[in-house]
Amino acid sequence: MSSALLELTAGEALAGIRSGELSSEECFDAYAQAAAADGLNAYLWSAEPGARGAGGEPLHGLPVAVKDLFCTEGIETTAGSRILEGYRPPYTATAVARLTDAGARLLGKTNMDEFAMGSSNENSAFGPVRNPWAHDRVPGGSSGGSAAAVAAGTAPWAIGTDTGGSIRQPAALCGIVGFKPTYGAISRYGMVAFASSLDQCGPLTRTVADAALLLSVMQGRDPHDTTSVGIEAGVELPSREDLAGLRIGVARDFSHHAEGVEPGVAEVFERSLALIEELGAEITEVELPHAEHGISAYYVIAPAEASTNLSRYDGVRYGLRVDGDLDLLGMYERTRARGFGAEVKRRVMLGTYALSSGYYEAYYGRAQRVRTRISEDFRTAFESVDLIATPTSPTVAFKLGERTADPLAMYLSDYFTVPMSLAGIPAVSIPAGLAQPPGGGPELPVGLQLTAPAFAESRLLDAAHALERTIGFDARPAAGGS
Amino acid sequence: MTEGSTMAESRWEPVIGLEIHVQLSTRTKMFCGCELSFGDEPNVHTCPICLAHPGTLPAPNQQAIQFALQIALALDCEITPRSIFHRKNYFYPDNPKAYQISQYDIPLATNGHLGDVRIHRVHLEEDAAKLVHVGESGRIQGSGHSLVDFNRGGTPLVEIVTEPDLHDPAVAREWLQLLRTTVRQIGASDVNMEEGSLRADANVSLRPAGSDELGTKTELKNMNSFRFLERGIRAEVERQAAILDAGGTVEQETLHFDPQTASLTPLRSKEYAHDYRYMPEPDLVPLAPTEDMIDAARAALPELPAARRRRYTDELGLDEKQATQLAFDAELGAYFERALAAADGVEGRTIANWVTGELIARLREAGDGDADPASSKVEPAAIARLAGMVARREISNGAGRKVLATLVAEGGEPDVIVEREGLGGMEDSGELEAIVERALESEPAAAERVRNGNLKAIGPLVGFVMRETKGRADGGEVSRLIREKLGL
């Protein structure tokens, strides 16, 4: 019984609860048990079966898994870091509060790369998450726990955050839908900050319709986040079945400059383009001349912001403190040395350097100009197309440990997702097929990324929904992986 | 404003600029909803935002923005269409985010002036928390541990930076008092130096008198009263002059003023040599005041000292000195305004004379150190009434002074005091004439000298009349009658 229940999409489960075929409590308990039995290290905390509270329209007590980057009052929130181990926030993030106010129940806090810095989930202080499709492979990151939980069926849906691809890339590697809304669509209040001008909350789900539902509940202006504006036109649940009349842009130059796009990924991408045309859309070549510099700009801007955002973890007020016979500076240094992992330290140092007097213009100033150019590229492109399609990730899920020794190779995982983050525009990854990894082995999911102009969420969801139906991706990870 | 005298002989001209921090008296903090407080239990006015918990974000205080706009407008500044908040990064326990949200290259307002001093910029920022160093010295050196009180952390601050347009420590002090009055008039701050709601640092350099160049400057901190500001600057001017006179060079440094010894000691370079790694604050959108916001701020501005002084000279006919005295002291000005409002036909100038002359002198005599009418027992309406009674000759000048002495001592209504003490005017001039005649008989020698043209000899005659009338007689009227009787 309960394993069939876990197969349902969130939308189907909600329909069952509404019609009385399924009880909200039964549904919650089935997921709570599944989450507790999770063998992927996807959860850092999960609710006890029998936990109640919330419920009501429109989400009827349906469980939701939440990335451990979101503050949850009284429930440990670590952001995947030792420095916040044991930290219980005195308040709840706006996005989470909107979900529970809409009737959702908190299922668990999902594992993640420390402070959302990573593309493989191997930077978690609490151990890596395993990909449900192949346990020796990464789920992607940084929202790897959320993606793995949804793909493995231990959560009906989840929320995560995306700074340079942290929702879309793990969604692609785990074969689910990941949606990054326009910057400002959802409040960032209560999301532990990584790079404030890029961070955005979004859903990881099994279907585009589920993503639309979560987005519609979470989006909106929040007085606690003055950069939040919401989506003025609202979010329509997608209903479109074809792509007739749509112009979809493809940036061949941008795609071809990517190093190491795996042949299997390229093949799935081309097949997807053919399907797009079959559905009545017109494929048009567009140029994104500066997008290939996205990674370089991103790895200045994001670490710069992170270096100041993470300065508050000083051992004075909460979280880890290493003191003893130390003066103030000694306490700061030892606390941060022990509390932060290697990747966090690398980025804090990069960012500190980039903001230093005398270097600011050469690094941060210049990166911001590249960012402006990339935004202009998209604006120009969207004068002639409605959406732009790219692969989500150059590769399928790679092996645990394969890239940990080479940060630059790891950074290139986000080659296709970073430009949209820099431009602040919405993008979705949907499962587009399966491909073998280069060294052979069982087939793994490949994601297709669609992106739209700012606040054109409904257009994007509609097209993704139509394409999802046609692609008909119905593969599931074998129980226990392979 | 007057030039100081001690500086006149030096061949060096001081060049002084001030950097002023004003704590705004908003209800809540700059970026969260915690109430402002002074003197409450430590750490009761805190929340996840001002304690910099993970995930929290700043939301600017609209009242603080309005106050800042009002201050900028009062200083005749240009309001920046889109000003930017920055993060000023440094680690310290009083700074929970490890960055202060401030403004950097694009401040709220620029290019203003107050009096003769140009304003370089006005910007908004947040205050740090308060550190209490536990130990005998009360300073961080030698302290075993320190406690942090976050009540103050996040209090809205307006920073005002002047151009180096001041050249005398005394004038710097006067100018700061004018600024204080201006800000107080707006109601934007308590502007109390002792409590720290007004803080001023000074940049001081010397140059050869008559030169246009700027010498090496030092920055003076911790001058927490107007007196200390003047003293600190004076001490620094003398220190620099001694160095330069001896052929040395002034080192650029930050100096801490010790009010106990009135001496200046350099802060250890570690304490101020920061690379603040300024970065635009990504959590806040640019501050773009709308026309409506600016209009509302302007409309809410009260009459400011400079405009008030102009009204006093042009409309009330006060002289420059008296107008300045009343206009540049917020409390005294408010007192005078209330007296004016209560005036029953008497001229403003007459009331001004009573307030700035007799009243303040009498308060001083009475040992009221501040000689502050506003905190005295004399109601503004009472001084206006008294001025009116004397002006209309309902009572004599002398009687008026007696009434005032009673008002200073115990307050009350002038009419009641006049009635009670029998100070009413000599309405029956026949009675006064009779007394004058008695005076001429009793003091024949004086009467003879006056008759011969020695008007100074009138004293004993007038004195006689005053004694007889217990001061009720009007001095002018008495002189007139005496001269009349003597055929002059």
Encode pLDDT of A85-106 as tens digits: 999 999 999 999 999 999 999 9
- How far apart are the C-alpha atoms of A292 and A417, rounded to whole Å? 11
Contact (CB<8Å) B91/A91? no
Of B375, B391, B420, which residue sits at a domain end? B420
Contact between A91 and B48 using a beta-carbon 8 Å cutoff: yes
Domain range for residue B359?
303-420
Inside any domain, residue B2 = no
Backbone angles phi, psi at B83, to 5 degrees: -95, 160
User: Average pLDDT of A140-150?
Assistant: 97
Q: Do A71 and B278 touch (CB under 8 A)?
A: no
CA distance, residue B103 to nearest chain A CA (Å) = 16
pLDDT > 50? residue A198: yes
Within this chain, do residues B444 and B328 fall inside the same structural domain, yes or no? Answer: no
Token couple for A79: 């952001």
- Going B71 to B77 to B83 to B89, the CA torsion angle's sign is negative
* Numbered residues of chain A with Cβ closer than 8 Å to any chain B Cβ: 70-71, 77, 79, 84, 87, 89-91, 93, 188-193, 195-197, 223-227, 304-305, 307-308, 311-312, 314, 316-318, 328, 332, 352, 355-357, 360, 364
CB contact under 8 A, A227 and B285: yes
Predicted TM-score (pTM) above 0.90: no
Q: Is residue A76 part of a domain?
A: yes
Give one DSSP letter per residue of A388-414, joined into a string. EEEES-SSSPPBTTSSTT-HHHHHGGG
pLDDT score for B406:
92
Q: B387 and B433 share a domain?
A: no
Instruction: Supply the pLDDT for residue B444.
Output: 87
Minimal CA separation from B21 to chain A, in Å: 25
Number of domains in chain B: 3
CA dist., res. A219 & res. A222, Å (int): 9
B365 and B446 part of one domain: no
> What pLDDT is attached to residue A416?
96
Quickly count helices (H) and strands (E) in chain A.
Answer: 17, 11
**The pLDDT of residue A215:** 98
Domain limit, last residue, from B374, B402, B420: B420
Q: Is residue A50 part of a domain?
A: yes
Say whether A332 and B56 touch across the interface (CB within 8 A): no
Task: Give the one of B51, B57, B148 whose C-beta lies nearest to A188's C-beta.
Answer: B57
Chain B residues touching chain A at CB-CB below 8 Å: 48, 51-60, 87, 89, 91, 93, 96-99, 148, 275, 277-279, 282-285
The CA distance from B27 to B80, in Å, is: 25
DSSP E strands in B326-375: the ranges are: none
The pLDDT of A25-38, averaged and rounded, is 96
How many angstroms from the chain centroid is the CA of residue B101?
Answer: 29
Residue that is written with structure tokens 């909107």 in the block: A98
Minimum Cα–Cα distance from A351: chain B residue: B277
User: Dihedrals φ, ψ of A74, to 5°?
Assistant: 75, -5
Q: Between B51, B59, B87, which is nearest A317 by CB?
A: B51
Residue B344 is predicted with a pLDDT of 84
Does position A459 have pLDDT exceeding 90, yes or no?
A: yes
Task: Give the whole-angstrom CA distance, residue B203 versus residue B17.
Answer: 5
Q: How many domains is chain A built from?
A: 1
Q: Is residue B5 part of a domain?
A: no
Nearest residue in chain A measured CA to CA from B144: A327
CA-atom Rg of chain B in angstroms:
29
The closest alpha carbon to B381, from B443, B339, B427, belongs to B339
- pLDDT, mean of residues A46-56: 84
Q: Are residues B285 and B363 in the same domain?
A: no
B344 located within any domain: yes
pLDDT (tens place) for every residue of chain B, 488 residues total: 344 445 445 789 999 999 999 999 999 999 999 999 888 999 999 999 999 999 999 999 999 999 999 999 999 999 999 999 999 999 999 999 999 999 999 999 999 999 899 999 999 999 999 998 887 666 666 667 789 999 999 999 999 999 999 999 999 999 999 999 999 999 999 999 988 999 999 999 999 998 988 899 999 998 989 999 999 999 999 999 999 999 999 999 999 998 888 889 988 655 555 799 999 999 999 999 999 999 999 999 999 888 899 999 999 999 999 999 999 888 889 899 999 999 888 899 999 999 999 898 888 888 766 778 888 899 999 999 999 988 888 888 888 888 999 999 999 999 899 888 877 766 555 778 888 888 888 888 888 888 888 888 888 888 888 888 777 777 777 888 888 888 87
CA B307 vs CA B167, B326, B355: distances in Å: 25, 12, 20
Place of tokens 């004439």: B433
CA A105, A166, A148, A342 torsion: positive or negative?
Answer: negative
- The number of beta carbons lying within 10 Å of the beta carbon of residue B429 is 11
The residue ranking higher by pLDDT, A44 or B397, is A44
Whether residues A70 and B285 touch (CB distance < 8 A) is answered with: no
Q: Does B119 share its domain with B176?
A: yes
Give domain status of residue B3, yes or no.
no
Structure tokens at B120: 């370089």
Q: Do B54 and A87 touch (CB under 8 A)?
A: yes
* CATH number of the domain where residue B437 is located: 1.10.10
Cα–Cα dist B488/B486, whole Å:
6
The two structure tokens encoding residue B73? 């407008």
Please report whether residue B65 resides in a domain. yes
Q: Tell me, yes or no, whether B7 lies in a domain.
A: no
Placement of tokens 């501050």 in the chain: B287
Tell me whether residues A226 and B282 touch, CB distance under 8 A. no
Could you say which DSSP state residue A143 is in? Answer: S
The residue to which tokens 């929904």 are assigned? A465
A467 CB-near residues (< 8 Å, 6+ apart):
A243, A272, A275, A276, A279, A430, A448, A450
B123: phi then psi, degrees, rounded to nearest 5: -140, 165
C-beta neighbour count of B116 within 10 angstroms: 10
A55-64, A160-169, A208-217: segment of lowest average pLDDT: A55-64
Decide if B78 is inside a domain: yes
- Domain of A209 in residue numbering reads as 2-254+257-288+376-471
B452 and B412: one domain?
no
Nearest to B89 among A93, A226, A311 (CB): A311
Contacts of A340 in chain B (CB under 8 A): none
Handedness of CA A364, A379, A419, A156 (dihedral sign): positive
Closest Cβ opposite residue B98 in set A90, A304, A311: A311
- Report yes or no on B6 lying in a domain: no
Are residues B91 and B236 located together in one domain of the fold?
yes
CA distance linking residue A181 with residue A204, whole number of Å: 12
Nearest CA in chain B to A196: B282
CB distance A70–B60 less than 8 Å?
Answer: no
Of B469 and A119, the one with more pLDDT: A119
* CB-CB neighbors (< 8 A) of B59 in chain A: 223-226
How many Cβ contacts (< 8 angstroms) between chains A and B?
97
Shared-domain flag, residues B266 and B332: no
User: B53 vs A352: CB contact, 8 Å cut-off?
Assistant: no
Q: How crowded is residue A384: how many other Cβ atoms within 10 Å of its Cβ?
A: 11
CB-closest option in B55, B59, B97 to A71: B55
Q: Do B118 and B193 share a domain, yes or no?
A: yes
Report the Cα B210 to chain-centroid distance in Å.
31
Instruction: List chain A residues with CB under 8 Å of B87.
Output: 308
Please report whether residue A348 resides in a domain.
Answer: no
- CATH number for the domain spanning A213: value is 3.90.1300.10
Residues A186 and B151: their CA atoms lie apart, in Å, by 31
Catalytic residues of A: 67, 142, 166
User: Is-cis flag, bond preceding A296, omega within 30?
Assistant: no
Residues B332 and B289 in one domain: no
The mean pLDDT of chain A is 95
Residues B160 and B253 both lie in one domain: yes
Same domain, B290 and B307: no
CB of A152 closer than 8 Å to CB of A38: yes
Return the sign of the alpha-carbon dihedral for residues B242, B248, B249, B250: negative
B32 closest CA partner among B63, B3, B59:
B59
